Amino acid sequence: MEIDGPDTGKTMTTEEEGQDYSKDDYNVLKVGSSQPAYLFYIVSDDEELPSIKHGETITDRRSPFQPHLAPVVTPKQVQFVLNNLYENKIASATHNINEYRIYCEDKNSFLQDCEDDGETAAGGRLHHLLQILDVRNVLVVVSRWYGGVLLGPDHFKHINNCARNILIQEGYTDTPEEASKAGGKNKRPKSKKPK
């Protein structure tokens, strides 16, 4: 399989490792000499669906934004939740921005990824929010239904507010005050000039 390299315009070749898909329900691809990247492959029917919570909708100029959250501990669960949401709730949305962060204790690191779904840079901003709040083992999806009016940078604000609200509602971050502090820029107080 060939894929385009990031920002280089060059094509990289990938090769699959391991043909026994019965052990894991995802393929492991090796890209060059880097670490393996896990891609979703199959979600079995016997896997239990994590509970999915739906947050309050924020509407601005006829564009509704609604957050969804599910506790996840494997990439397989992430795909299972996304499949379920697309089948039952969010298929009609114009954009479904998502981010997941799974903490791997044995490696003391995170397995994480985000998706813009056509809202350029929205996935990266959602990713940044979840990193700042240091949430673990969670998938957050924010769905937007386009209402016919461009919102400019306000749509980023609504996406992050939706995500922050459902994280607070479900107890992934302590209080609204801490969540708003984490989302703001660190400002240093101006020092007084000596007279």
Tokens 């990247």 belong to residue? 37
Rounded Cα distance, 195 and 178, in Å: 37
| Structural domains of the chain sorted by starting position, each given as residue range(s) with its CATH number in brackets | 2-40 (no CATH), 53-182 (3.30.230.30)
pLDDT in tens, 121-152: 999 999 999 999 999 999 999 999 999 999 98
| Residue 167: closest CA among 134, 123, 125, 119 | 134
| Cβ–Cβ < 8 Å for 25, 76 | yes
Rounded Cα distance, 116 and 120, in Å: 6
Q: Which pLDDT does position 133 carry in this prediction?
A: 94
Q: Which pLDDT does position 12 carry in this prediction?
A: 37
Integer CA distances (angstroms), 20 to 10, 16, 35, 43, 86, in order: 31, 11, 19, 15, 28
- pLDDT mean across residues, the chain: 76
pTM, entire model: 0.67
Instruction: Return the bridge partners of 141, or none.
Output: 68, 98
Q: Which pLDDT does position 127 carry in this prediction?
A: 95
Give pLDDT tens digits along the chain (195 positions).
Answer: 444 444 444 433 333 333 333 333 333 333 333 333 333 444 455 568 899 999 999 999 999 999 999 999 999 999 999 999 999 889 999 999 999 999 999 989 999 999 999 899 999 999 999 999 999 999 999 999 999 999 989 999 999 999 999 999 999 987 656 555 554 444 333 444 454
Q: Which pLDDT does position 88 carry in this prediction?
A: 84
